[in-house]
Amino acid sequence: MHRSADDRLFRMTTGIFAALVLLLVVGIGFELWRQSLLSIEKFGFKFWTGRVWDPVSGEFGALPFIWGTLYSSLLALLLSTPIALGIAIYISELSPRMLRQPLSYMTELLAAIPSIVYGLWGVFILTPIVRKLELLTPAALRKFPLFSGPPLGVGMGTAAIILSIMVVPFTSSVAREILKNVPIAQREAAYALGATRWEAIKVAMGYGKTGIIGAVMLGLGRALGETIAVTMVIGNNPQISLSLFAPQYTMAAVIANEFTEAADELYLHALIEIGLLLFIITIIVNALSRLFIWSTKRRLVNIISIPPVVEEEKAA
């Protein structure tokens, strides 16, 4: 009576704050849509296929940015995934006990560095190195579209490198969690059949396959949204090119650079429409990633097993 009334009040009051969080997310989506209406109405679907981004003449085609974001993120995944998985495997399966804490801490440190610092390092340290590498590229390779173009230092390649460094800690820490929770019984089954240590690790990875895919997608989500570090090293040129040497442009970068310069409303709305797409893409990627990770974790947690012998001796 008295108890349940006050309970209901508590529930409602705290619930309002919880609803606020929900409202925030919905609100972001709504506002993004509302503030890009001018552009949506004017260009429609052609916005996403148009290659020309010319604010002066009022022509807005976002394809170069979509390309830049997807290409840079894909490259970052290609570079970061093997390294992140290698780290996860090393820390959870191979490293001496003593090294585990410090190594995992140092990997997390990578995630703690602000992206402006990555950008600074990228501009002043990495870009000159990449430029030297580009200059050293043999003429034979230069013929390929992947390595064509003048050696500027800034470009897709540099951006991909920086992005991959930033993504590694995210993928690696989730992958480590997954591997930690694979039941020992699976590895024992492999060993008992005469597997080598690497083969047993592969069995464990296979068991946590879905979760590991989720970990990689988490990294993808991170790469898609990264703004500052990328814009400082990618060259900010809205061209579509396969070349790692070529300066290109991403969705997040163009918003960061041109937002305050958007003189007219259409320009602003076009930029915000790009933001809307970025919002939708990252929601989907992150939601899928959580789904994969959560479904694996649930399966793993339900079948946890400890070698009976260790239990037996511990009890003795």
Partner 1 sequence: MSYSGRRKIVSAIAEALCAVAVILALLPLAMILFYVIKQGFTSLNWAFFTHMPKPVGEPGGGMANAIVGTLILIGLAATMAVPVGCICGIHLAEYPDSRFASVVRFAADVLNGVPSIVVGIFAFGLVVLPVKRFSAIAGGVALGMLMIPVVVRTTEELLRLVPTGLREAALALGATRARAVFTVIVPAALPGILTGILVATARIAGETAPLLFTALNNSYWSTNITQPIASLTVQVYTYANSPYDDWHRQAWAGAFLLVMITLTLSIIARLAVRGLERMNRP
Partner 2 sequence: MMTTIEMERIATPVNREPAESGKGTSKISVQNFDFYYGPAKVLHSINLEIPDRRVTALIGPSGCGKSTFIRSINRMNDIIPNARAKGTITIDGRDIYAAGTDVVALRRRVGMVFQKSNPFPKSIYDNIAYGLRIGGMHNKRELNALVEKSLIRAALWDEVKDRLHEGAFTLSGGQQQRLCIARALAVDPEILLMDEPASALDPIATTKIEELIWDLKVNYTIVIVTHNMQQAARVSDRTAFFMLGRLVEYADTKTIFMNPKEKMTEDYVTGRFG
Q: Are 201 and 89 in contact (CB under 8 A)?
A: yes
Question: What H or E segment, with its residue span, contains residue 19?
Answer: helix 2-34
Structure token digits, residue 269: 């709305």
Query: Considering the rule CB under 8 A, would residue 48 count as an interface residue with partner 1?
Result: no
Using only the alpha carbons of the chain, give its radius of gyration.
Answer: 24
Site string for partner 1, 110-149 (x = CB under 8 A): x-xxxxxxxxxx-xxx------------------------
Q: Are 274 and 33 in contact (CB under 8 A)?
A: no
> Distance between terminal CA atoms of the chain?
53
Query: Considering the rule CB under 8 A, would residue 207 count as an interface residue with partner 2?
Result: yes
The entry of partner 2, partner 1, none that residue 283 binds, CB within 5 to 8 Å by partner kind: partner 1
Which range binds partner 2 by CB under 8 A, 103-111, 245-253, 260-268, 308-316?
308-316
Q: What is the largest CA-CA distance in the chain?
A: 84
Query: Considering the rule CB under 8 A, would residue 290 count as an interface residue with partner 1?
Result: yes
Q: Which of 150, 145, 116, 110 is nearest to 130 (CA)?
A: 150
Q: Report the 3 state secondary structure along 56-86.
A: CCCEECCHHHHHHHHHHHHHHHHHHHHHHHH
Structure token digits, residue 300: 């793993």
DSSP string, 85-122: HHHHHIIIIIS-HHHHHHHHHHHHHHHHS-HHHHHHHI
> Which residue lies nearer to partner 1 by CB, 48 or 121?
121
Query: Considering the rule CB under 8 A, would residue 186 count as an interface residue with partner 2?
Result: yes
Query: Considering the rule CB under 8 A, would residue 305 count as an interface residue with partner 2?
Result: yes
d(CA 306, CA 308): 6
Cβ neighbours, 10 Å, residue 43: 20
- Site residue total, partner 1 (CB under 8 A): 85
> Which residue lies nearer to partner 2 by CB, 151 or 183?
183
Query: Considering the rule CB under 8 A, would residue 98 count as an interface residue with partner 2?
Result: no
Query: Considering the rule CB under 8 A, would residue 6 count as an interface residue with partner 1?
Result: yes
Q: Which of 188, 257, 262, 290 binds partner 2 (CB under 8 A)?
A: 188
Q: Which of 199, 261, 264, 265 binds partner 2 (CB under 8 A)?
A: 199
The entry of partner 1, partner 2, none that residue 293 binds, CB within 5 to 8 Å by partner kind: none
> Which residue lies nearer to partner 1 by CB, 52 or 109?
109
Q: Which of 14, 49, 196, 295 binds partner 2 (CB under 8 A)?
A: 196
Query: Considering the rule CB under 8 A, would residue 295 count as an interface residue with partner 2?
Result: no
Query: Considering the rule CB under 8 A, would residue 90 count as an interface residue with partner 1?
Result: yes
Name the residues that contact partner 2, by CB under 8 A: 97, 183, 185-196, 199, 203, 206-207, 305, 307-310, 312-313, 315-316
